[in-house]
Every structure is written in structure tokens, then in C-alpha cells.
């Protein structure tokens, strides 16, 4: 049975590239009716934090990813790593190295002077007929893996095809530090063996690690998983995606008002395709996903496309559900929300009226804020152009006709606004723009009948009078 894993390191937030890796691993397992494992690779004791673990779990939960096994924590498996290290030492696949930091620095300097790749020179590597130096006092040795020195290490990558490197390019990597703590490249192999991982899907920045890990698998006498290395994600400008491109942490997309469905749909198309289809349900992603259709080349992040997708999912979502998702964003801009049927019903109507004009929940919250505040924030440019001596008669006639209405329904409101154009012999633009500015604070809003209905009679008349008083 196919088994994949997602194995983030908790040294920071879950970035968007990591989220794509999690998604592809998840989809591949589901497509093949396999299982997925969540593993927290926290052996970097200095940089790993509980806060980062919490942030990663929060991100995965928001995206809707669940796992068949885990989370497993590497720091809770140190006894197992120690056991395997002892086995490798006993079988001659690893050895103790007593080199000091000064000696290692000298090796690097010599290599650099020769314009060669810095590498360990094998001082403590045991070989038939070789006499090792005397063990120095006061040095806690590291444990190095005895990498093959001849031939090549190869593997067939499910994205890039056959990849190979000469073993002479790989030095004897450290698998346990002087304090006994195991290192990344070693731990992941033991974990993949013990967790019976069949397919490893990760970024192509790990390709060089894979060669080293393949040799450790072989030294342990265990089957090597199949690997699929995903090309990097570039920013809008074609450069490697980084903080300067804006939001790169997954929860930043939540903060910016994106829906998880939109983010997932966008991520699946970053390096994978199924014909010309752009919009996928999750069920369709599972049905169609195949590593054969993953691109070898890097993908460019397109913020405009993500916004387009987000708007699509906002429009498609049940308005009542979208209204509930909107509440935290309203609260952030000072709107007091309620958990009552009356408030929820009104908020749902507001969402329905404005959602097609918004690309994010942040934008939608700002757009409907005028419905919930006593004092609107009037756009200065709109005010200067629309709230003028020329528009004063229009605003006064609107206030007169609207005040006489006993029925505050959209169709009645529409008729009243049109009546103003007749009474004053002006075009709708001369009526609609000043009216919108007076009651909304800007010149764009849903249809005037919808807008007036939502604002309500009392508040509409108050805002008209305030606008008239400004002139």
C-alpha cells in the first residue's frame, strides 16, 4: 500500500511551498487509496519551537488536511536513532570522528585554496591496513556515516527522471553530533523505514540530501522509497518566493481574507495541470492527480489569479456560511457583531448584495462596514465631486420623497429614486452618485434599491441630512 508523509521542521511558520508539498503528498495518497503520515522533524533543538509547531498545526487544520497517522515527533524517537547508530557502527557502516573544529576549518581552507568543494578528508575513516590516529583526550566524537567512495548513487525521480551523482562528490556526513543528538539526514531515513513510507514527495532543494539518504537506506538493508522532487515556487517577479513578495506563510493568507478552498485550488495548479481546467473541487483533485503531470520547471506565483479564484469561491459559497466567516474580519475593523438570528439574517443579505464586488473577506468587510456604523467614512474625492451646490437640490428632493415612503422595499425605493430624475429633469448619474456618496461614503455600491433597503429608512434620512449640511 502507498504511504506518503509530510514532514515539516518547526523552525517557523508553514510557508506556501510547504503547503503545496503537503497538498501533493495528500492527493497522491488519496488518489492511490493510500495513507498519509504527519511527522514533525524537530531535531534542530536550537531553532525548533512549540510556537512553530502550533503554527504549522493551525495552518494544516485551516487548509483542511487530516492525516491517517501522527503527528510523530523526532525528539521522542532519540532512543530509536541511538539504536540504529549502534547497529551501523557495529556493522562498519559508521565510525567515530575525533576531529576538532580547528582541524575541520583547516580542511575547508585547504579545499577552498585548491578551488575544490569543502569536504571531510577521512582522517578517522577506518580502512583495511590503515592506522588511525591516537584518540585525543577531552574530545567528544561525532559519528560519521561511511559513504561509498567509488561508483555512483542513483535514483529514479518521479518528476525529474533518473538522477545520479558520483560517490566521490559525497563525503562522510555526520549522523550523530558530539552530544549524541542525531542529525536530519539520518533521522529521516530511520523514520521512513519505521513508518513504512513508500513515496517521498518534497521540494527539489532536497535532491542533494536524497543521494546521501539513499546510501543510508542501503546500509540499513532497507528498501529505498520512491522520490518525487517538486520544483520551487517563484514570486510574481520571477525571483525565488520570499517575504518581500508579500504573504508567504499560510496563515497570512487567512489574515488577508482568502478562503482555504481558493488557496488549495491555487496551489494544486502551481506545477500540476489537468488539461486546461483551472477550477477543481477537492474530489476532482483526488480523482485526477498524478505525478506524471507535475512540471519539472519552477512555477510562478500569480497573485491576481489567486484573487480571481478567491472571488469565485466566495461567490459560490453559501451566503449564510460566508457571513459567519466574515464576522472576525468585521470585528477587526471595529464592527460589533452578534450571534443572533436577526443579525445573521441581515449580515447574510449584506453579503449577498456585495460579494460579487469583493475579492477577499477583508475587502468584503470593508465594503459593508457602512451598514453597521453610525458615522460613515466619506471618501474625500467622492465628497468633493458629489456633495456640492449642484447636487444639493438632488439630495433635498431625495430626502423629501424617501421620507414620505411608508413601504421600504427595493421596488418602492427604485421607483422613488427614478421619480427624482423626473421631478428635477436630470439623468440617473446626477442622482445616483451623490446619493451613494451620502449614504455609503463612496461612489460604488450594489444597486441603489438594494443599498437603500439595507441601510434602512432612518439611517438613510440621517445621512442625507448630514450630507446636505456639509454643502
Mean residue pLDDT of the chain comes to 95
Q: Is the pLDDT of residue 247 over 80?
A: no
Q: Is the pLDDT of residue 240 over 80?
A: no
CB 139 within 8 A of CB 103: no
Q: Give me the phi and psi of 347, to 5 degrees please.
A: -60, -40
| pLDDT band per the 50, 70, 90 thresholds, residue 292 | very high
Q: Is the pLDDT of residue 405 over 70?
A: yes
Q: Is the pLDDT of residue 272 over 80?
A: yes
Q: Are strands 142-145 and 94-97 parallel, antiparallel or unpaired?
A: antiparallel
pLDDT at 114: 83
C-alpha 144/C-alpha 124 separation (Å) is 9
| pLDDT band per the 50, 70, 90 thresholds, residue 118 | confident
Q: Is the pLDDT of residue 243 over 70?
A: no
Q: Write the DSSP string, 48-92.
A: --HHHHHHHHHHHHHHT---SEEEEEGGG-HHHHHHHHHHHHHTT
C-beta contacts of 316-321 below 8 A and 24+ residues apart? 317/259, 317/261, 319/348, 319/351, 319/352, 319/355, 320/344, 320/348
- Domains present along the chain, CATH in parentheses: 3-71+185-233 (3.40.50.620), 80-176 (3.90.800.10), 317-373 (1.10.8.70), 380-470 (1.10.10.350)
pLDDT at 25: 98
Instruction: Give the three-state DSSP class for 156.
Output: strand
C-alpha 389/C-alpha 64 separation (Å) is 55
Query: Which class for 191: exposed (0-12), middle (13-18), buried (19 or more C-beta within 10 A)?
Result: buried
Instruction: Give strand pairing partners of 69.
Output: 37
| pLDDT band per the 50, 70, 90 thresholds, residue 311 | very high
C-alpha 269/C-alpha 244 separation (Å) is 22
Average pLDDT over residues 20-47: 95
C-alpha 44/C-alpha 34 separation (Å) is 30
CB 188 within 8 A of CB 9: no
CB 333 within 8 A of CB 365: yes
Rounded to a whole number, what is the distance in angstroms from the first to the last CA of the chain? Answer: 75
Average pLDDT over residues 61-70: 96
Q: Grid coordinates representing 440?
A: 455609503
Average pLDDT over residues 198-226: 97
C-alpha 432/C-alpha 3 separation (Å) is 61
- Mean pLDDT lowest among 45-49, 157-161, 256-260: 45-49
pLDDT at 265: 98
Among candidates 362, 386, 400, 389, which has minimal Cα distance to 439? 386
More confident residue, 236 or 196: 196
Q: Is the pLDDT of residue 471 over 80?
A: yes
Query: Which class for 70: exposed (0-12), middle (13-18), buried (19 or more C-beta within 10 A)?
Result: middle
For residue 202, the surrounding DSSP H or E stretch is strand 199-203
Among candidates 434, 301, 423, which has minimal Cα distance to 20? 301
Average pLDDT over residues 320-340: 97
Query: Which class for 6: exposed (0-12), middle (13-18), buried (19 or more C-beta within 10 A)?
Result: buried
Q: Which residue in the list 76, 140, 240, 243 is annotated as catalytic?
A: 243
Average pLDDT over residues 90-95: 97
**Contact residues for 184 (Cβ-Cβ < 8 A; gap 6+):** 41, 43, 44, 209
C-alpha 108/C-alpha 434 separation (Å) is 74
pLDDT at 175: 97
For the chain, percent of residues with pLDDT exceeding 90: 90
pLDDT at 246: 56
3 is catalytic: no
Q: Give the chain's count of helices (H) and strands (E).
A: 19, 12
**pLDDT one-digit tens code per residue, 429-445:** 999 999 999 999 999 99
C-alpha 130/C-alpha 436 separation (Å) is 89
pLDDT at 74: 96
pLDDT at 242: 66
CA distances from 183 to 78, 216, 218, 398, 402 (A): 11, 13, 18, 75, 75
C-alpha 362/C-alpha 208 separation (Å) is 42
Q: DSSP state, 406?
A: S
For residue 207, the surrounding DSSP H or E stretch is helix 207-220
Q: Grid coordinates representing 368?
A: 459593508
Cis peptide before 361 (omega within 30 of 0): no
* Residue showing cell 535514483: 155
CB 347 within 8 A of CB 364: no
Q: Mark 268-295 as b/e (b = at least 16 C-beta within 10 Å).
A: bbbbbebeeeeebebeebbebbebeebe
Q: Is the pLDDT of residue 115 over 90?
A: no
User: How much is the pTM?
Assistant: 0.91
Amino acid at each position: 500500500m502507498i504511504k506518503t508523509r509530510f514532514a515539516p521542521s518547526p523552525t517557523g511558520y508553514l510557508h506556501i511551498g510547504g503547503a503545496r508539498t503537503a497538498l501533493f503528498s495528500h492527493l497522491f495518497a488519496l488518489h492511490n487509496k493510500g495513507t498519509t503520515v504527519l511527522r514533525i522533524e524537530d531535531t534542530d533543538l536550537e531553532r525548533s519551537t512549540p510556537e512553530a509547531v502550533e503554527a504549522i498545526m493551525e495552518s494544516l487544520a485551516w487548509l483542511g488536511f487530516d492525516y491517517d497517522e501522527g503527528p510523530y515527533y523526532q525528539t521522542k524517537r532519540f532512543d530509536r536513532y541511538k539504536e540504529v547508530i549502534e547497529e551501523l557502527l557495529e556493522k562498519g557502516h559508521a565510525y567515530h570522528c575525533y576531529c576538532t573544529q580547528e582541524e575541520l576549518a583547516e580542511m575547508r581552507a585547504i579545499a577552498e585554496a585548491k578551488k575544490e568543494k569543502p569536504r571531510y578528508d577521512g582522517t578517522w575513516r577506518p580502512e583495511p591496513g590503515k592506522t588511525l590516529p591516537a584518540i585525543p583526550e577531552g574530545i567528544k566524537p561525532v559519528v560519521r556515516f561511511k559513504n561509498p567512495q567509488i561508483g555512483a548513487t542513483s535514483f529514479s525521480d518521479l518528476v525529474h527522471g533518473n538522477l545520479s551523482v558520483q560517490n566521490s562528490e559525497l563525503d562522510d556526513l555526520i549522523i550523530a553530533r558530539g552530544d549524541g543528538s542525531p542529525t536530519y539526514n539520518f533521522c529521516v531515513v530511520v523514520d521512513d523505514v519505521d513508518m513504512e513510507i513508500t513515496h517521498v514527495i518534497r521540494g527539489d532543494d532536497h535532491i542533494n540530501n536524497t543521494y546521501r539518504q539513499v546510501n543510508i537506506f542501503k546500509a540499513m538493508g532497507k528498501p529505498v522509497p520512491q522520490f518525487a522532487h517538486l520544483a520551487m515556487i517563484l514570486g510574481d517577479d520571477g525571483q525565488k518566493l520570499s517575504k518581500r513578495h508579500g504573504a508567504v506563510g499560510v496563515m497570512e493568507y487567512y489574515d488577508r481574507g482568502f478562503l482555504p478552498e481558493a488557496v488549495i485550488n491555487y496551489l494544486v495548479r502551481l506545477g500540476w495541470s489537468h488539461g486546461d481546467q483551472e477550477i477543481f473541487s477537492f474530489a476532482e483533485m483526488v480523482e485526477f492527480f498524478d505525478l506524471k503531470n507535475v512540471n519539472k520547471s519552477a512555477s510562478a506565483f500569480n497573485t491576481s489569479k489567486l484573487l480571481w479564484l478567491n472571488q469565485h469561491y466566495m461567490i459560490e459559497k453559501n451566503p449564510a456560511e460566508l457571513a459567519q466567516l466574515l464576522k472576525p474580519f468585521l470585528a477587526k475593523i471595529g464592527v460589533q457583531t452578534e450571534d443572533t438570528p436577526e443579525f445573521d439574517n441581515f449580515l447574510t443579505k449584506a453579503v449577498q448584495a456585495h460579494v460579487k464586488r469583493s475579492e477577499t473577506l477583508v475587502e468584503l468587510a470593508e465594503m459593508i462596514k457602512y451598514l453597521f456604523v453610525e458615522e460613515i467614512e466619506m471618501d474625500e474625492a467622492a465628497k468633493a465631486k458629489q456633495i456640492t451646490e449642484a447636487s444639493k437640490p438632488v439630495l433635498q428632493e431625495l430626502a423629501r420623497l424617501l421620507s414620505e415612503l411608508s413601504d421600504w422595499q427595493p421596488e418602492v425605493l427604485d421607483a422613488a429614486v427614478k421619480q427624482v430624475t423626473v421631478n428635477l429633469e436630470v439623468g440617473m448619474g446626477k442622482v445616483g452618485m451623490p446619493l451613494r456618496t451620502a449614504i455609503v461614503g463612496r461612489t460604488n455600491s450594489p444597486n441603489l434599491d438594494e443599498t437603500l433597503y439595507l441601510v434602512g429608512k432612518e439611517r438613510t434620512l440621517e445621512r442625507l441630512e448630514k450630507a446636505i449640511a456639509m454643502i
